[in-house]
A and B are shown apart, each in its own frame.
Chain A
Amino acid sequence: MPDVIPWRFIVFAIIFAGMLYLQFYLAHRQWRKIKGQQTSEIDVGYVQMEDFLAQSFRRKVKEWLQLPATVTSDRERSILKGRERIRVITGGIEFGAGEQCDDILVVEGNFACGPGCLFAREILVKGNARFGEGAQLQSVAVDGDLVLGADVKVARWLDSTRELTLGANCLVGARVTSGGMIRMGPGAQAGSMFAPQVVSTAWDGSFPSKQTFETAKLPVIAFSEEAVAARESLEAAGFDVKKLIQLGADSWLYKGDLHLLAPLRLMTKLVVKGKCDLPDGFILEADIHADGSLNIGANSVCRGNLISGQHIHLGPGSRFAGLIHADGSVRLGHGTRGFKDDGLVVAYAGEVLEVERDVAIQGKLAAGGRVIVESAEAAEAGNA
């Protein structure tokens, strides 16, 4: 019988089959574990909502405050949650210079700290808050005004329901949001700033009204088959008609660099497959895209969106009412105003968004790298 049936081989074959199965064992085990459990989740608001982290922190604090607390003094109680300690302070608190705190702080009044303090956990202040020069924080949510002294470093986010002031050379790792106004000191940097009003140093306090948005009468350019065929007006304006191709009913494509010398009022959406330089006092009534850099002269008015595959420079004293988006950097010249009647505006740079002095916008400044305000020295040099 052993000669007819190769038992040892059969045993080997069975072991071999087991070894083959082993290749798929982990997969099989995981499948049995995850079967019946939804495994992919869509997180709608995560970080994308401007004040997501601040709101999320406020919600968590609400839950934590329900937990049993130990009273440590007449003005303070502490709550232990896992390895975290939450210090709840009734009334206000003032930290002296150089103090450090490694607990989550919930302050039910006003908060103040001297220079050089370090707070390694989140802080929620239900009154106003003021941080001294050179303080280092993780993140702060304030239900009032928030003032940061010079050189304050914030690892994550800042949020206030009213006015928020960033001192000179403050650094904020992620988003800064405010329900009122954000005042950016010289050299301040952040991931993004979002508020009904965001202003930089030396802001003159003015926001132009709709009327002041109206500008001088300029030659009107609207592309159409007839206009392109007629050539004269377009060539006089500086366009090479041979490079113009119609993309859609309301948009045209310009194949090459575009360098206009005289101001115009451009009414049609335009895609420039190269660099685009527009002179001072230009009026853009429609969207413009440039594959290369987009330079817009001083005192221009942009009602359409400004998009560039590289960099955008908006000249001093310009106004914009749409979106600004550059894969590279964006520079908003001094005196720039960004606003529109029926909503907020946004300027975004894939790398760095530089904001000169006296810039005021209603909406958001954001960057893949950072938003940086012109330093005091640069501003002085500019003024000079």
Chain B
Amino acid sequence: MGVQPGLGKKGKMIVLLLAKFFLGLAIVVLTLYAIRHYVFALCRLALRRPRDFMELTGFSLPRTSVLVPMHNEEAVAADILQALVECDYDRTRLEVLAIDDNSEDRTSAIIDDYAARFSMVKAIHRHEGAGGKAAALQEATRQATGEVLLLFDADYFPGPSLVKQLVAPFSDPQVGSVMGRVVPHNTDKTLLAALLGLERAAGYQVGQQARYNLGLTPQFGGTVGGVRTSALTSVGGWNTESLTEDTDLTFRLVLHGWKVAYVNRAECYEEVPESWPARETQIARWATGHTDCLHRLWPSLLASRSLSLTEKVDALFVLCCYLTAPVLILGWLASLVLFFSPQMHSVPVLSVAMLFVGYQMFGNQATFFELGIAALLDGMNRRVLLMPCNLFNFFASTSAISKALVRFYLRKLWGAGGPPWSKTRRFRTNGKERPFANGSSHAPKLFSQGANGIYTRSGD
């Protein structure tokens, strides 16, 4: 055994036992996730008629408040506000609450400009109180008058019909929250962005839709989605302590008896990180927030009477998903220890070896299977060929998530509070460098809708 010099027989045995335990744990955990991926992908692929509310679009127009929290968003603020004032929703039933959350750049001026020109836009300026998206949403919710609250992050670009599409499922009185589909528009900028585009497709086209079809809980992502005001009130509003207030709200709603609907057709452009440091910040925040939710919510989820067993299991799968990264690394390290151990050469049990091979090759393959199915349904004929490169993204994400979780648990161990909310870097520059910054009061058109109805980027 080549682990450490001077390690006694007992020590070697302990190391070997630990290695076997972690390898076994990795195999079991990742096999379960792999099965889940395969089931979701096949369900989504084969289901002929997905559940949706699209035929109801435009027939129910409740009073709606659109909340757009912004912190130093001068590069993108004008785009989202312009898109919202151009949407085809009944103006008498729509308000846009643009929240300037302690911005130090020109965000505040842009918001004020839109509020002055459009009566449907209301400016909210926050200069005190807790920072972060959840706190900004909490304040805006107090001022909102809509029966439905829709949320958009500032870097999103909603098409004209999106508000109608997102409010349609609220015609069902048990729907507490609705999530739309996110479509990255900058996938041609860097390879990372292209790979994230594939990942998003798998997450929404397959993951979210399969969960919705199977009667499980699609996740409300805190943007391109909405929440019924009375549902939000019934669960006590936004959790300002959470880094992922969206995940937190999703599970508090379902614990209370509400359902989350997913609208695959309600597509909205977003900007995905183009550089690895930005992606690392984003995924670290998600991993920390998700895992924090897991620690707070798992007892209630298990004890819940409003959720079925499969819903509970799936909820735990969702909340534990980032923990698979360190488990995977531990599994790799354990297999390294076992590689140098003489036991590796005399493993007699075929089934154990099968599991090992299955986990190493086909377990990891499951996420790719999901990507492929999403690409197939989306008709991404060319982009799907990028899939092998996603392997590097997979390794990079695994290490970034593991680092974030180590930091999270160390902070927990030392009794420190959660890490501060960190915004994902924006890559769009048109608001800053285009005419808007030079005095024009119109946002340059980032997207244009052709006569064929297709929404494409106008060019940078």
| A253 lies within 8 A of chain B by Cβ | yes
Q: Are A305 and B454 in contact (CB under 8 A)?
A: no
Closest B residue to A37 by beta carbon equals B188
Most chain A CB neighbours (cut-off 10 Å) among B55, B160, B197 = B55
Q: Complex Cα distance A224/B160, Å?
A: 39
Besides A34-B188, A36-B188, A37-B188, 4 other A-B contacts (C-beta < 8 A) = A42-B267, A43-B452, A248-B230, A325-B171
In the complex, which residues of chain A have a beta carbon less than 8 angstroms from the beta carbon of B138? none
Q: Are A271 and B159 in contact (CB under 8 A)?
A: no
Q: What are 28 A-B contacts with C-beta separation under 8 Å? A: A26-B385, A27-B385, A27-B387, A30-B385, A39-B380, A40-B183, A41-B454, A42-B269, A43-B454, A44-B160, A44-B455, A52-B453, A56-B453, A59-B451, A247-B234, A249-B230, A250-B230, A251-B230, A269-B173, A270-B173, A271-B257, A286-B173, A289-B174, A322-B60, A323-B171, A344-B59, A346-B55, A346-B56
- A48-B54, A343-B61 known; A247 vs B389 contact (CB < 8 Å): no
Of the candidates A26, A42, A59, which one forms a contact with B455 in the assembled complex, judged by CB atoms under 8 Å apart? A42
Q: Are A38 and B230 in contact (CB under 8 A)?
A: no
| A35 lies within 8 A of chain B by Cβ | yes
- Which residues from chain A sit less than 8 Å from chain B, CB to CB? 23-24, 26-27, 29-31, 33-46, 48-49, 52, 56, 59, 192, 245-251, 253, 269-271, 286-289, 304-305, 307, 322-323, 325, 327, 343-346, 348, 350-351, 363-364, 366, 368-369
Q: Are B234 and A249 in contact (CB under 8 A)?
A: yes
Closest A residue to B383 by beta carbon equals A39
Q: Are B258 and A42 in contact (CB under 8 A)?
A: no
In the complex, which residues of chain B have a beta carbon less than 8 angstroms from the beta carbon of A48? 54, 57, 161, 265
Q: Are B56 and A323 in contact (CB under 8 A)?
A: yes
| B386 lies within 8 A of chain A by Cβ | yes
In the complex, which residues of chain A have a beta carbon less than 8 angstroms from the beta carbon of B268? 42
Report B150-161 CB contacts with A as 1/0, cut-off 8 Å: 000000000111
In the complex, which residues of chain A have a beta carbon less than 8 angstroms from the beta carbon of B233? 248-249
In the complex, which residues of chain A have a beta carbon less than 8 angstroms from the beta carbon of B386? 27, 30-31
Q: Complex Cα distance A247/B228, Å?
A: 11
Q: Are B59 and A343 in contact (CB under 8 A)?
A: yes
Contact size range, B = 35 or more
Chain B interface main SS type: mixed
**Closest Cβ–Cβ distance, residue A326 to chain B (whole Å):** 11
- A41-B455, A325-B53, A364-B59 known; A289 vs B172 contact (CB < 8 Å): yes
Q: Are A251 and B55 in contact (CB under 8 A)?
A: no
Most chain B CB neighbours (cut-off 10 Å) among A248, A270, A287, A307 = A248
| B49 lies within 8 A of chain A by Cβ | yes
**Closest Cβ–Cβ distance, residue A252 to chain B (whole Å):** 9
Q: Are B173 and A305 in contact (CB under 8 A)?
A: yes
Docked complex: B138-153 residues within 8 A CB-CB of A: none
Q: Are B383 and A350 in contact (CB under 8 A)?
A: no
Q: Complex Cα distance A29/B382, Å?
A: 10
Q: Complex Cα distance A352/B386, Å?
A: 41
| B231 lies within 8 A of chain A by Cβ | yes
Q: Are B453 and A43 in contact (CB under 8 A)?
A: yes
Q: Are A38 and B49 in contact (CB under 8 A)?
A: no
Closest B residue to A272 by beta carbon equals B174
Going nearest first, the 8 A-B pairs with the smallest beta carbon separation are A45-B453, A248-B230, A269-B173, A287-B173, A271-B174, A30-B385, A248-B234, A348-B55
**Closest Cβ–Cβ distance, residue B171 to chain A (whole Å):** 5
In the complex, which residues of chain B have a beta carbon less than 8 angstroms from the beta carbon of A43? 452-455
In the complex, which residues of chain A have a beta carbon less than 8 angstroms from the beta carbon of B380? 39-40
**Closest Cβ–Cβ distance, residue B286 to chain A (whole Å):** 22
In the complex, which residues of chain B have a beta carbon less than 8 angstroms from the beta carbon of A33? 382
**Closest Cβ–Cβ distance, residue A241 to chain B (whole Å):** 17
**Closest Cβ–Cβ distance, residue B145 to chain A (whole Å):** 15
Report B367-404 CB contacts with A as 1/0, cut-off 8 Å: 00000000000101011011111000000000000000
Docked complex: B221-272 residues within 8 A CB-CB of A: 228, 230-231, 233-234, 256-258, 265, 267-269
Closest B residue to A45 by beta carbon equals B453
In the complex, which residues of chain B have a beta carbon less than 8 angstroms from the beta carbon of A24? 388-389
- Which residues from chain B sit less than 8 Å from chain A, CB to CB? 49, 51, 53-57, 59-61, 159-161, 171-174, 176, 183-185, 187-188, 191, 194, 197, 228, 230-231, 233-234, 256-258, 265, 267-269, 378, 380, 382-383, 385-389, 449, 451-457
Q: Complex Cα distance A322/B61, Å?
A: 11
Q: Complex Cα distance A31/B51, Å?
A: 35
Closest A residue to B387 by beta carbon equals A27
**Closest Cβ–Cβ distance, residue A342 to chain B (whole Å):** 9
Q: Complex Cα distance A31/B194, Å?
A: 8
Of the candidates B160, B171, B184, B258, which one forms a contact with A305 in the assembled complex, judged by CB atoms under 8 Å apart? B171
Most chain A CB neighbours (cut-off 10 Å) among B59, B176, B187, B385 = B59
In the complex, which residues of chain B have a beta carbon less than 8 angstroms from the beta carbon of A350? 49, 51
In the complex, which residues of chain A have a beta carbon less than 8 angstroms from the beta carbon of B173? 247, 251, 269-271, 286-289, 304-305, 307
Q: Are B51 and A345 in contact (CB under 8 A)?
A: no
**Closest Cβ–Cβ distance, residue A374 to chain B (whole Å):** 21
Most chain A CB neighbours (cut-off 10 Å) among B172, B191, B451, B454 = B172
Q: Are B56 and A34 in contact (CB under 8 A)?
A: no
In the complex, which residues of chain B have a beta carbon less than 8 angstroms from the beta carbon of A269? 173
Q: Are B385 and A287 in contact (CB under 8 A)?
A: no
Of the candidates A31, A38, A40, A364, which one forms a contact with B389 in the assembled complex, judged by CB atoms under 8 Å apart? A31
Closest A residue to B258 by beta carbon equals A247
Closest B residue to A342 by beta carbon equals B61
Q: Complex Cα distance A39/B196, Å?
A: 13
Q: Are A42 and B387 in contact (CB under 8 A)?
A: no
In the complex, which residues of chain A have a beta carbon less than 8 angstroms from the beta carbon of B176? 247-248
Q: Are B55 and A366 in contact (CB under 8 A)?
A: yes
**Closest Cβ–Cβ distance, residue A60 to chain B (whole Å):** 10
Q: Are B382 and A307 in contact (CB under 8 A)?
A: no
**Closest Cβ–Cβ distance, residue A344 to chain B (whole Å):** 6
In the complex, which residues of chain A have a beta carbon less than 8 angstroms from the beta carbon of B234? 246-249
Q: Are A35 and B454 in contact (CB under 8 A)?
A: no
Of the candidates B53, B161, B183, B194, which one forms a contact with A34 in the assembled complex, judged by CB atoms under 8 Å apart? B194
In the complex, which residues of chain A have a beta carbon less than 8 angstroms from the beta carbon of B184? 40
Q: Are A305 and B387 in contact (CB under 8 A)?
A: no
Q: Are B197 and A40 in contact (CB under 8 A)?
A: yes
In the complex, which residues of chain A have a beta carbon less than 8 angstroms from the beta carbon of B187? 38-40
Closest A residue to B61 by beta carbon equals A343
In the complex, which residues of chain A have a beta carbon less than 8 angstroms from the beta carbon of B171? 287, 305, 307, 322-323, 325
Q: Are B230 and A30 in contact (CB under 8 A)?
A: no
Q: Complex Cα distance A305/B174, Å?
A: 12
Closest B residue to A340 by beta carbon equals B59
Q: Complex Cα distance A34/B197, Å?
A: 13
**Closest Cβ–Cβ distance, residue B396 to chain A (whole Å):** 16
Closest A residue to B54 by beta carbon equals A48
**Closest Cβ–Cβ distance, residue A271 to chain B (whole Å):** 4
Q: Complex Cα distance A366/B55, Å?
A: 7
Q: Complex Cα distance A325/B51, Å?
A: 11
Of the candidates A38, A192, A250, A345, which one forms a contact with B55 in the assembled complex, judged by CB atoms under 8 Å apart? A192
In the complex, which residues of chain A have a beta carbon less than 8 angstroms from the beta carbon of B388? 23-24, 26-27
Of the candidates A36, A41, A343, which one forms a contact with B456 in the assembled complex, judged by CB atoms under 8 Å apart? A41
Closest B residue to A304 by beta carbon equals B173
Q: Are A42 and B256 in contact (CB under 8 A)?
A: no
**Closest Cβ–Cβ distance, residue A46 to chain B (whole Å):** 6
Q: Complex Cα distance A344/B57, Å?
A: 11
Q: Complex Cα distance A24/B388, Å?
A: 7
